Amino acid sequence: MILLSRYKLAAFLACQRRFQLRYEQGVPWPVAPQPPTQAEALAQGEQFHRLLERYFLGLTVDAAALPSPLRQWWQTWQTHTPPLPPGRRLPEFRLTVPVGQHLLLGRFDLLILTDETVMIYDWKTERRPRAAATLHQDWQTRLYLAIVAEGIMGIQPSSQPITPEQIQLCYWFVEEPQASVTFRYSQAEHDQNWAELNAIVARLDSQLSDPNPWPLTDDLNECGRCAYQLLCARPQPLLNLDNWYEETESDLDLSLEPTL
């Protein structure tokens, strides 16, 4: 059984060989040295998430003691807080649901549960918010909505089942809160997402029995930002350090997940 996060799904879809090396064989990911500004930005994003976790747990937030930009972000939060319905609040919540012989994992910055609705919130500290159309197709959106639709009754028993139409996901951007976007789910979307997730897991299962090197990506842009490329016998080195940093950034919490 494998615990599949959105990062692992993204790795498998980007390059099956990358997934094999990292998760099936446990080859350490060679981390490139990050520019100081990027390392600082990643640390600040993590601190902001911990700050809001304290807030939703009812703990004291000493705004005067916060360094920049956390102080500015906290002020933005206070003046541009997204609509938060009354209900049961679960900050930094983890939920797993079965798919095939494996488990899908979602880590949610905040869930708010009522008898009739579920709101998922995700805090974004990136400087340039992505377009709504891009976010809608992102596997984070699709996976988080699917996991909640499949697993909500396990954490919020109700006399009436929660349908996908009662689930929403809000991305809130601290740098541009006016650009925040909320997606409503639907049964049709869920049927499509769940079918695709089962198809991906079936492909993964077929590869797990293969001891040979798994297929390489045909996308050289993916190859160019992969730290494993020298292990894959590509004809020429394609390493792009700038994109390599992005890969490291998107995998921040992989150390919290078990390997295969």
Token pair belonging to 35: 């520019």
Choose one of 18, 51, 79: the last residue of a domain: 79
Burial of 66 (0-12, 13-18, 19+ CB in 10 A): middle
Statement to judge: residues 205 and 222 lie in one domain:
no
Choose one of 45, 79, 113: the last residue of a domain: 79
Integer Rg of the chain from CA: 20
pLDDT of 233 reads 72
CATH number at residue 115: 3.90.320.10
Residue closest to 223 by CA, chosen among 52, 21, 61, 47: 21
Average pLDDT of span 111-139? 93
Statement to judge: residues 87 and 178 lie in one domain:
yes
Structural domain including 51 reads: 34-79
Which contiguous run of DSSP H or E holds residue 23? none
pLDDT tens digits for 168-184?
A: 999 999 999 999 999 99
Residue 127 — very low, low, confident or very high, per pLDDT cuts 50/70/90? confident
Statement to judge: residues 52 and 116 lie in one domain:
no
Q: How far apart are CA 231 and CA 227, in angstroms?
A: 9
Statement to judge: residues 118 and 196 lie in one domain:
yes
Statement to judge: residues 176 and 84 lie in one domain:
yes
Statement to judge: residues 207 and 84 lie in one domain:
yes
pLDDT of 159 reads 61
pLDDT of 36 reads 66
Token pair belonging to 87: 């209900």
Total domain count for the chain? 3
Token pair belonging to 215: 């297929």
Token pair belonging to 180: 């925040």
pLDDT of 247 reads 42
Q: How far apart are CA 213 and CA 236, in angstroms?
A: 19
Statement to judge: residues 170 and 89 lie in one domain:
yes
Structure pTM?
0.86
CA angle 156–88–190, rounded 5-degree value: 50
- Cβ atoms of 118 and 111 within 8 Å: the answer is yes
Statement to judge: residues 28 and 64 lie in one domain:
no
pLDDT at 18 over 70: yes
Q: In whole numbers, what is the pLDDT of the chain averaged over residues? A: 87
Choose one of 19, 52, 79: the last residue of a domain: 79
Statement to judge: residues 104 and 200 lie in one domain:
yes
Statement to judge: residues 113 and 185 lie in one domain:
yes
Statement to judge: residues 85 and 189 lie in one domain:
yes
Statement to judge: residues 150 and 186 lie in one domain:
yes
